Structures are given as structure tokens and as C-alpha cells.
Amino acid sequence: MSATMEQGAARRLRLADLHKTYRSRGREPFAAVRGIDLDIEPGEMVALLGPSGCGKTTTLRMIAGLESVTSGSVRIGEREVGDLPPGKRDIGVGFESYALYPPLSVRENLAYGLRARRSMPDACIRERVEAVAERLEVTDLLDLRPAALSSGQKQRVALARALVRNPPVLLLDEPLSHLDAGQRQRVRRELKVLQREFGYTTIVVTHDQLEALSLADRMAVMDGGTIQQFGTPDEVFDRPANRFVADFVGEPAINLVPGEAADGAVDVAGAGRLPAAVSASGPVEVGLRPQDCRLAAEDTPGEGPAATVEVLEDLMEFGLATVALDGNGTRMVVQTEGGASWAAGDRCRVQAPAERVHVFAKDTGERLS
Ligand SMILES: Nc1ncnc2c1ncn2[C@@H]1O[C@H](COP(=O)(O)OP(=O)(O)OP(=O)(O)O)[C@@H](O)[C@H]1O
Ligand SMILES: [Mg+2]
């Protein structure tokens, strides 16, 4: 395929203090995006993650030019594109709302953007369409009309349409959400390979953390129209910037329990101490990922809050134990080895290495450790 798909020159994408306030008659103005800064390297793939309504689609639509910018700047390469119409921005988009043309076949839908450019011979267009179709598993659909496609098929066609133009910047909003599990994995891999091969600077919105982890060089976690953290998946997972990010990223979810910090340790819910890299003292919130904790026998030397096992779920390769901490019975989930012999009623101690004990300010939720 390389012969027919020249490298799209990757561009840097920069958002600076980007805002969007929706104003509609008879309703209070609503600030959906509240000052976003993002600097994305040429050829980098960034996943945008966040709860429903946090402004992900609005952000992508402003970059694509499908939504006006209230204030702030969108730059592609050295060019400010905020005032350019969508067609002049050199951006490939895969949005659910960005429908395929119903009267055209899938093949014509894919070729449409290339034809409009008038710079490519028909034979090349045909070849490129077929090459991308093959990789996104839509070859069998090329002669159908959009109305005849299932939602998963439409989604793959929409993705193919975005990729076929080999755009320097690619924006994808939940591009794989309608695919079944197997296909999702295959198309995800193909998307990653194509992205690497051609170096599109890419933002992909996803609700699926595994998808974000497997696709993205860096991820931006959003809440309430702002970016809470922007970093590599490891950075975000290992050093969440605040309570929100800690809680949003990671499965099973992190345990957040009340604690008291003093002298490089935290007392966890009054049930026992854990070492922690924290210099503050006073009431805090302690974040412990199930994967980072272990259960030890109650009389094991060393620190760790004391607890009683309530349930053990055996998930073959590993188990998940729900324990109730001594004191007021705060519940925590701890990952155990597969085949572990813990049972309801067992007394235990929860242990975790200091660098895995996250400490957040009780009031602001900001990271303290
Ligand atoms: N045209 C509009 N007019 C008024 N409010 C809007 C408009 N479009 C979106 N909003 C509001 O802006 C906020 C952000 O919407 P957006 O679609 O960007 O969220 P999202 O992060 O993409 O959510 P989801 O994960 O559900 O797709 C929401 O509260 C939404 O109701
Ligand atoms: Mg959305």
C-alpha cells in the first residue's frame, strides 16, 4: 500500500486556552469547554478520556471547525485555523454524527474526498480505497449503500473514510464503539498500525480505558470542560494528579479511603498505618489500587491496616478480595493471586509499598504525595 499512500506530513496540533460557551435562546449560557491547553507532537496519538458531558466531542468539533470557538486558539503546524472552514483544515474526522452520503455506495463514499481534491488519478484513488477497505474489513461492503449497513459496519466505513485521505491530523470520536469484541480488537490494532505507518497526529475519544491504554502515546483526562491531567498512560496511572483522575482511570477502581497523614506514613481509616511519600500532616484521602495491595496474615510483621475478608471472587488468573477495615468497617478491594485461599471471616492485614500509596488533600483532592 505504501506505493499508493504517501506519508501525510505529520503536524503539531496546539490548543491554547480554548473555550466554548453554548448560548441558546431562553436558556442560561453553558460553558462546555473551559480553557483547554494541549500541545500534541507531530505523529502523536492522544486519547481523550472523561465522563459523559465533560466536553470531549465539543473539543473535537471545535478543532475540526464543525463548531465555532468562543475564545482561544487552534493551531495546526504553524497555522491558526480557528477561522478556516472545515474543508480547509486538512483534518480527517470520524464522528458518529458525520454521516455517510446515503445515495453513494461505500466505495464512492470513500473516494469522494480524494476526488474532490482533483489531484489524484482515478486508478490511484481506486487502489487507495481498496487498500484501506481491506485493512478495515469493509471490502465486502464496497458496493453497498450506507442504508444497508449495520451500525458496526457504518462505523468501520466512517473510519476508512477518515483514513483514506491520509490526513495530517485525524480526529476520532468513539470510532470503535459499535464493533463486537473481536472486531474491535482487530480494527484497533489496524488503526494503530496505520497511524504509526503514516504518522497522523491523532486525537481519539474513548470511553474504554483499555482502548486508551493500547492506542495512546499520551492521554488527556477531562472533567467539567477542563483537562485534569495530560501524560503517558504510565504517568496517569502511577501518579494521578488528583482524586478525580485516580478514581476515573484504572480497573477495578482505586480504593479511596479516609486517612490521617503524619511522619511519612498514613493511618488508613484508623485501622493501621502504611508508609507513604507524604510530608503533609492531617486528614487526607488515601488512594490504593487493588493491584498494588496484597493481603498478608494478620500476624505478619510490618505495617498495614487490619481487616476481615468479606468475599473472595476467584477470576482464575487472580482473585478480588473485598475486605472490611477494622474500626468503622470501611470496605476495600484487594487483588490476590489466582487460587488464593482466603475465605470470608479470615483476619488479614492490607499491605502496599510506599510508592504505591497515593495521598490526596481532603478538601481540594490534589495529590500530596
Ligand atoms: N449544541 C449545544 N447546545 C447546548 N449545549 C450543548 C450543545 N452541545 C453540547 N452541549 C452540552 O455541552 C456539554 C458537553 O457536551 P459534549 O458532547 O462535548 O460531551 P462529551 O464529553 O462528548 O460527552 P459524551 O461522552 O456523552 O459523548 C454537555 O453538557 C452538553 O449537554
Ligand atoms: Mg461525545
The pLDDT of 63-72, averaged and rounded, is 96
pLDDT at 97 over 80: no
Give nearest CA residue, ligand 1 atom 26. Answer: 52
Instruction: Tell which residue, 130, 349, 117, 361, has the closest CA to residue 256.
Output: 361
d(CA 50, CA 224): 9
Q: Please state, rounded to an integer, the average pLDDT across all residues of the chain.
A: 93
Give nearest CA residue, ligand 1 atom 25. Answer: 52
Domains assigned to the chain: 13-238 (3.40.50.300), 252-361 (2.40.50.140)
Give nearest CA residue, ligand 1 atom 18. Answer: 55
Q: Tell me: the pLDDT tens digits for 220-266?
A: 999 999 999 999 999 999 999 999 999 999 999 999 999 999 989 99
pLDDT at 2 over 70: no
Q: Tell me: the pLDDT tens digits for 106-161?
A: 999 999 988 887 778 999 999 999 999 999 999 999 999 999 999 999 999 999 99
Q: How many CB atoms lie within 10 A of CB 144?
A: 15
∠ CA(109), CA(112), CA(117), 5° rounding? 165
pLDDT of residue 95: 85
pLDDT of residue 4: 40
pLDDT of residue 10: 83
Q: How far is the CA of 354 from the centre of ligand 1 (A)?
A: 40
Q: How many CB atoms lie within 10 A of CB 198?
A: 20
Question: Residue 229 in contact with residue 242, Cβ under 8 Å?
Answer: yes
pLDDT of residue 339: 86
- Give 178 or 119, the one with higher predicted confidence: 178
d(CA 151, CA 100): 12
Instruction: Tell which residue, 46, 58, 49, 47, has the closest CA to residue 10.
Output: 46
The set of protein residues with a Cβ atom below 6 angstroms from ligand 1 is: 22, 24, 30, 32, 50, 52-58
pLDDT at 281 over 90: yes
Distance of CA 221 to the CA centre of its chain: 7
In which band, very low, low, confident or very high, does the pLDDT at 8 lie, cut at 50, 70 and 90?
low
Dihedral (Cα; 175, 180, 181, 183), 10-degree rounding: -70
Taking the CA of 70 as reference, the closest ligand is 1
